[in-house]
Structure 1
């Protein structure tokens, strides 16, 4: 049975940290850190109980940090974001973050044991692959024999060379618009300056640039837009080795960071190379241009892509800006034929929390967005740790301030997670009544995604086109669709309005024929809440349903020749 991928994104540094009195911008000693070993079989089992079948361990590979460890000096604090550092400023592609280990000298073994525990629970594990940039100070102290650091063989006298790993602003010292001597006892000096990670090809980047990173050179010369891919660039070969290294440790896949900032030709070359040895390894691309979706699936060989700028942004617009729910039809049409390759989500480390002041303010409003994004296709769905508890991200943790996101730069912990984790007990005893209700909701929806074959592998039929002028249906605040197989049909109606509604829905003859629906009066139990419903189905009748404000119904429909409803 092919499962729909349900991903739980975990940030281990914070996920199991039980320090209750964290100091904004605090050190590791002050605020503590979660550990690989904290994610026990019980923790993994509790995550799996939500309906999750894949865990994304975020912030695993060693990043630049202000924290020193035995044998591992701290990085220059003037080019590190936050006390703990950004997980996307990689300083050693072959190592894991020492903050996540109980025994720093055994950190890789602790990581490998965690991968084993996840697999023993029947789940997959993915990690980040950050190909576009490294930390400004890159050095591996555990790389396999013969592997040299990025940049160690570069010609510093050239802005671009096909054999260089970085781009150099020749005869210029790195000089951003902020001082490089405010922290620590040693100013940060970089000469010649390297290009900054967000394609800032000068020595004079700004504080809002990715100043803690440097851009990697894949054989593309931004000076004249020329491409130099033969012979295979050194950076390509290094990255292939890194991907194979992690795949050999049992990692099931990679969430690839900012894939569109790396030449498409690299992905076209590297993913098949990895899959020759590890055919089941999956590649998920972070991408923000709908026009590139098909290229990155077909030519670049990605298995799945973020659908942020299409479905996610539309759902945000419906919730925050009175965008019509009818716009959701355009979302699936935009990815028609590749929708099953789209990774949908409502939260991740880059986006504001759903329950935050900047988004919905109330975690209980999540139902229509959750149901639509998780059930509109066979593609993967992802939640972010603490989302199922309604984490609101109202803390000022340090570097990024109170920005409605959970920090990725600081040592921190959250009250919601502490009460759930409860020193490894993973109990609901300390959760509020509302948190228990919300977690049960997520479990029901996520479990249903694979328990019901219509969601797992069924066809999709949008019912909006026949209801746009239906006086009993508000297409600007409600969205309705069918999912069906030869043996099962499910009607989904999501209500984005604050008010309870009594609606009358048209189901056209085309849908009845394609889904092989029985006509006439029916009774069924709403799969979301267990409510008994009575309604009628037919091309010449209206299907009457009641849906509460910011809620949804998921209704099994009878098939022709089958009086039973699955």
Structure 2
């Protein structure tokens, strides 16, 4: 990881860098491993010690730790492009020891999203336990896409120490996660499944997808797939620079895959020979949407946007069996199967490609079984947000198109911080449902030239993303130590850690330190960064005001032409009866900012402020150098001074 290549930070150590942000290095169970013997002061974080009571937290803002399960525990550093599991290694369920899980918990985590758990198509030989080999011509990468699920009633055999016992090993991981005070989320991918879907583990009497389809019809209500009648599937023409498995010889890699008649491809392509850019490794599920786009299922009345999950369930229970497409019932049974095993929630891939009525049906059934189930959906069209939340009964949606995209643009100097207030206002009625993140498995790593240039440049955005609303925060594994995702892994390309290949994750491996999870091989930069994330995310989960109200302070400052408050600064307030916060961030990597932050009288009245108030910065747990000054006209202001990339979370601490 590189420190900012600007004059202010030339020859500055990581500890001095963090000091410039108003912080110091503090990492549980970790001591610096280099020759720098300077003493460091502990940040008095709100994170509990690793010996804390193992109890699942149900209060405060959720913090979701997304871990790519296949990669997390892998200690192999070979990283050969297109490497086999023997070349490059693979992580296992057993790598999530109590030590590992407490390390995850130390980041304020309430929910662990284990990505890539359901058994998906991959290139490895498990025929000795009855699993059929997958065809490289319809598998992306060697380790396979986690979103081409082959068996919804079992888990990826790569992840098990004993593949024949893989389901029991995952069940044990669920139990360990719960014992360490966190809940479990896994993926469901309703829009598409692997072309070679075949369940070995389905309950008795549960047919495979497509087993009962009428394949003479392009569409039939209770068919699970759509068909290209009279044509066989043909493998797409590969780009000139691509060959399955990087060109390695494989008995099934012959440019052919038997499928007759051809099925529609996962992204909706109706061609028997899809394009190489299509989701050709998957087939699209039929939810009762006819080829012309019309619906073949009961329409949910609009007034159900204001009804409870129980009322939604009653609506669907009142329908006849023939009213409900077979695919709906299949996925409802899949969800119930995993709930019964202790899974606490689901993340839905490409949810907007599936009709909202199905989500009402599925989620109302889930909430009936577990009212506290955590339901997160990938939806990118802002025009659909409210339908999927209110009619589809989603708990949370990705806030990508507005908040994430704009924070990235601000970091890159392409947008003003003024846009933050604008995008927050757009979702003011649903802000608690919009999950915030700066990384996930689909997005570029922060610590790349294509995103932030280095991991520290994104810290102001991370503070805002974490504290702006009542919504959960998502942290992707390796983000907290500045992982770059720089490997040429095979199908996966640099700037994103590959989800298709067997590969190691270097910065995370250094922190993991062969299972000690103490940062014993980490650089000072990586340790400093992780200390910041620990402080911020524990604050996010524990600060009462962050479950309270939001007041944007940005526009008034700009209207007042406040000196020093410019397009690289953003300020707002979060508060409730228990706690009042003022939050300000400086996105500039080179310039300090100093300005007077004015507070409206309406806010003072709500807070019952009549005299000067001292402040404490919760990111450092140190008294702030300036007080909140109330003048004779009942106006209040505070002098804010921010170093480059510094943020402050100021709590009002004394009221007279």
TM range (shorter): over 0.9
The match for 1:423 is 514
CA contact (8 A) 2:513 2:520 kept: no
User: Are 1:281 and 2:373 counterparts?
Assistant: yes
CA contact (8 A) 2:513 2:519 kept: no
The match for 1:399 is 491
Higher mean C-alpha deviation, range 492-501 or range 133-142: 492-501
Mapped to 2, the partners of 1:234 and 1:73 lie a distance apart of 26
Mapped to 1, the partners of 2:449 and 2:652 lie a distance apart of 38
Higher mean C-alpha deviation, range 213-222 or range 186-195: 186-195
The match for 2:304 is none
User: Are 1:97 and 2:156 counterparts?
Assistant: yes
Mapped to 1, the partners of 2:434 and 2:653 lie a distance apart of 30
CA contact (8 A) 1:526 1:533 kept: no
The match for 2:285 is 216
The match for 1:444 is 535
The match for 1:460 is 550
The match for 1:260 is 352
SS of the aligned residue for 1:388 comes to helix
CA contact (8 A) 1:518 1:537 kept: no
User: Are 1:76 and 2:171 counterparts?
Assistant: no
Measured on the aligned residues, the alpha-carbon RMSD in Å equals 1.7
Mapped to 1, the partners of 2:200 and 2:117 lie a distance apart of 16
CA contact (8 A) 1:388 1:439 kept: yes
Higher mean C-alpha deviation, range 245-254 or range 227-236: 227-236
The match for 2:435 is 343
CA contact (8 A) 2:60 2:542 kept: no
User: Are 1:546 and 2:641 counterparts?
Assistant: yes
| Counterpart pick for 2:272 among 191, 200, 203 | 203
Alpha-carbon distance, 1:339 to partner: 0.6
Alpha-carbon distance, 1:424 to partner: 1.4
Mapped to 1, the partners of 2:587 and 2:607 lie a distance apart of 26
The 5-angstrom pairing of residues 49-68 of structure 1 reads 49-68=106-125
Alpha-carbon distance, 1:227 to partner: 2.5
Higher mean C-alpha deviation, range 373-382 or range 229-238: 229-238
Alpha-carbon distance, 1:35 to partner: 0.3
| Counterpart pick for 2:86 among 29, 45, 52 | 29
CA contact (8 A) 1:467 1:506 kept: yes
The match for 2:62 is 5
Mapped to 2, the partners of 1:253 and 1:374 lie a distance apart of 21
The match for 2:174 is 115
The match for 1:505 is 597
The 5-angstrom pairing of residues 235-250 of structure 1 reads 235-250=327-342
Kindly provide the CA deviation profile for residues 12-32 of structure 1, in whole angstroms up to 9, marking residues without a partner as x: 111110111121111111111
The match for 2:251 is 185
CA contact (8 A) 1:28 1:411 kept: yes
The match for 1:130 is 189
The match for 1:163 is 222
Alpha-carbon distance, 1:376 to partner: 0.7
Unaligned stretches of 5+ in structure 2?
1-57, 299-321
Mapped to 2, the partners of 1:226 and 1:143 lie a distance apart of 29
CA contact (8 A) 2:565 2:594 kept: no
Kindly provide the CA deviation profile for residues 372-400 of structure 1, in whole angstroms up to 9, marking residues without a partner as x: 01001111001000000010111111112
Mapped to 2, the partners of 1:244 and 1:344 lie a distance apart of 28
Mapped to 2, the partners of 1:481 and 1:93 lie a distance apart of 45
Mapped to 2, the partners of 1:63 and 1:316 lie a distance apart of 32
CA contact (8 A) 1:12 1:35 kept: yes
Alpha-carbon distance, 1:345 to partner: 0.4
SS of the aligned residue for 1:533 comes to coil
| Counterpart pick for 1:370 among 459, 462, 465 | 462
Mapped to 2, the partners of 1:125 and 1:519 lie a distance apart of 47
CA contact (8 A) 1:59 1:87 kept: yes
After superposition, the Cα gap between the structure-2 partners of 1:439 and 1:224, relative to the gap in structure 1 and judged at 3 Å, is closer
Mapped to 2, the partners of 1:523 and 1:184 lie a distance apart of 69
SS of the aligned residue for 1:109 comes to helix
Mapped to 2, the partners of 1:290 and 1:516 lie a distance apart of 37
| Counterpart pick for 2:476 among 363, 378, 384 | 384
CA contact (8 A) 2:137 2:235 kept: no
Mapped to 2, the partners of 1:242 and 1:42 lie a distance apart of 31
Alpha-carbon distance, 1:401 to partner: 2.3
Higher mean C-alpha deviation, range 184-193 or range 249-258: 184-193
Higher mean C-alpha deviation, range 75-84 or range 359-368: 359-368
Higher relative contact order (CA 8 A, sep 6+): 2
Alpha-carbon distance, 1:73 to partner: 2.7
| Counterpart pick for 1:225 among 294, 302, 305 | 294
SS of the aligned residue for 1:535 comes to coil
SS of the aligned residue for 1:198 comes to coil
The 5-angstrom pairing of residues 293-332 of structure 1 reads 293-332=385-424
- Equivalent pairs counted in the alignment come to 558
Q: What TM-score, normalized to structure 2? A: 0.83
SS of the aligned residue for 2:513 comes to helix
Mapped to 2, the partners of 1:536 and 1:423 lie a distance apart of 48
Mapped to 1, the partners of 2:218 and 2:652 lie a distance apart of 64
SS of the aligned residue for 1:134 comes to strand
